[in-house]
Amino acid sequence: MKILLLSRYSHLGASSRVRFYQYLPYLEAEGIHVTIANLLENDYLQDLYMGRRMRFYDIIGAYIRRLEYLLKSNRFDLLWLEYEILPWLPAWAETILSNFGIPYVVDYDDAVFHRYNMHPSAMVRVLLGYKIDVVMRHAALVIVGNEYLGNYARKAGAKRVEYIPSVIDLERYNLMVQHENPVFRIGWIGTPVTEKYLHLIHQALEEVCKDGNAQLVLVGSSQTGLDGVPTEIHIWSEETEVAEIQSFDVGIMPMPDEAWAKGKCGYKLIQYMACARPVVASPVGVARQIIEDSRDGFLATTTMDWVSAFRILRDNQRLRERMGKAGRIKIERQYCTQITAPLLVSLLMSIS
């Protein structure tokens, strides 16, 4: 079987790396040969994280390269899309593929439809508000990372919707004994695009850190400006991310109760739990599904909820270990490629 993968990013992009690239060895072993045609290179994400705008001619070049691959689409048994073919343009390409009987599978780990149907510009909402609905409707299969995305796909008229969570590879997340840190380490991993959510718990972090017995550790962030919160900022890399998380005492995921957040797949929670670390998160979207409150972590709404969770975990190492073990067991049973890769192979093979 030959598949053309039209991913959004190169390997630096978490969505492309987690939802597609980590599966390629499994697919190859099953006789599924994947040709990668990512839309955007690492330079795009690096510019985005630094607050720089992408150059216009780079965008044009990326779109031209994608169109060149589409002209070769009949050489493949199946197209595998991340979100859409051409962002910020109507679903012409997906419609043409459907009309010519060229099947495609589309994958979502974010509520990208809200970029269009909730855009502040009325023109964008009119022209593109239902674009992703069209993409989903023409797809032979829509794969989603959570139920919020699945419900949207079904309402859009998708022929077939299947659920595969965002997961980790257990071989990369080896268990290790947690050493007691001299200062309680509250850890977060992400990108400069999502670090703004840390401000939701600024007051809680300041409160729990004021006595000098706790600190915030950020991996992949820029300078956050959380006054009164002692903070370490570490550069993210795929090679070191597991070791960084293993240095945490607890992993956090604060999120606003908004439509966009409900489409998130909670990958950082999966990473923390794979490292046998307890978690604290806002009770928004998939966090309610991943976390069993008071067993493998805490769901925290108010500032006092967050402060209470931090203090309980800070003062009870045995509880941290027990919650961490419970989380790791959950990852081994539900949220790893060892479980999801065979499912993905069967789904892709069922389209041919």
Q: Within this chain, do residues 26 and 146 fall inside the same structural domain, yes or no? A: yes
Give yes or no for residue 283 having a pLDDT over 70: yes
Q: Within this chain, do residues 81 and 121 fall inside the same structural domain, yes or no? A: yes
179 part of a folded domain:
no
Residue 323 near residue 278 (C-beta atoms within 8 A):
yes
Tally of domains within the chain: 2
Share the mean pLDDT of the chain: 93
Q: Could you tell me the CA-to-CA distances from 207 to 195, 198, 223, 352 in Å, in that order? A: 19, 14, 20, 56
222 part of a folded domain:
yes
Q: Within this chain, do residues 342 and 315 fall inside the same structural domain, yes or no? A: no
Q: What sign for the dihedral angle of Cα 113, 135, 130, 61?
A: positive
316 part of a folded domain:
yes
175 part of a folded domain:
no
Q: Within this chain, do residues 148 and 229 fall inside the same structural domain, yes or no? A: no
Task: Work out the pLDDT band at 264, boundaries 50, 70, 90.
Answer: very high
How far, in Å, CA of 201 to CA of 255, rounded? 9
Q: Within this chain, do residues 13 and 156 fall inside the same structural domain, yes or no? A: yes
How far, in Å, CA of 252 to CA of 330, rounded? 17
Sorted by sequence, the CB contacts under 8 Å of residue 57 that are 6+ apart come out as none
Beta-strand pair 104-108/141-144: parallel
Sorted by sequence, the CB contacts under 8 Å of residue 122 that are 6+ apart come out as none
90 part of a folded domain:
yes
Give yes or no for residue 270 having a pLDDT over 90: yes
Four-CA torsion 12, 15, 20, 25, nearest 10 degrees: 50
Q: How many CA atoms lie within 13 A of 29 on its CB side?
A: 9
CATH number of residue 126's parent domain: 3.40.50.2000
Residue 32 near residue 348 (C-beta atoms within 8 A):
yes
Q: Within this chain, do residues 318 and 207 fall inside the same structural domain, yes or no? A: yes
125 part of a folded domain:
yes
Q: Within this chain, do residues 261 and 343 fall inside the same structural domain, yes or no? A: no
What's the pLDDT at 181?
A: 86
Give buried/exposed letters for 218-250 (b at 16+ CB in 10 A, else e): bbbbeebebeebebeebebeeeebbebbbbbbb
174 part of a folded domain:
no
Give yes or no for residue 328 having a pLDDT over 90: yes
Give yes or no for residue 160 having a pLDDT over 70: yes
Q: Compute how many other C-beta atoms are within 10 angstroms of the C-beta atom of residue 351.
A: 18
**What is the residue range of 234's domain?**
184-334
Q: Within this chain, do residues 44 and 28 fall inside the same structural domain, yes or no? A: yes
> What's the pLDDT tens digit per position in 92-151?
999 999 999 999 999 999 999 999 999 999 999 999 999 999 999 999 999 999 999 999
> What's the pLDDT tens digit per position in 184-195?
999 999 988 889
Q: Within this chain, do residues 155 and 8 fall inside the same structural domain, yes or no? A: yes
Residue 111 near residue 148 (C-beta atoms within 8 A):
yes
Q: Within this chain, do residues 154 and 251 fall inside the same structural domain, yes or no? A: no
Q: Within this chain, do residues 17 and 118 fall inside the same structural domain, yes or no? A: yes
Give yes or no for residue 227 having a pLDDT over 80: yes
Q: Within this chain, do residues 143 and 251 fall inside the same structural domain, yes or no? A: no
177 part of a folded domain:
no
